Amino acid sequence: MTKLRDRTERRKGRVRGTLRLAAGERKRLSVFRSSKHIYAQLIDDDHGATVVSASSLEKTVLDPEGLKTGAGVAAAKAVGKLIAQRAQEKGIKDVIFDRGAYLYHGRIKALADAAREAGLNF
């Protein structure tokens, strides 16, 4: 592995270790950011299953907002709002936010803030 990948894996491990201690019965809101899109999913770690997911690949995210690409802050806000709506439909209100190895800044922060505004607690 390269040095960059080693640092990324260590950072992700530190975040996940802290989350496991604090999680309890809450689902984990995991975020993945690529150069063109952003993805979010609620994971039930007890069963190892994805409960709800949303991404900027979905037409329901891009079309109503008039977005051309899924790479911006606006797309991240739309995904955050959508994941919160889908979670509430499943009866989930309390989650724990897993930023992975990403800094809590930009698109990651926009997604988290939009999910909070839409009703998720973390």
Give pTM, 2 decimals: 0.86
Positions in the chain whose pLDDT score sits under 70: 1, 21-23
CA 25/CA 18 separation, integer angstroms = 15
Q: Is 80 helix (H, G, I), strand (E, B) or coil?
A: helix
107-120 pLDDT, tens digit per residue, is 999 999 999 999 99
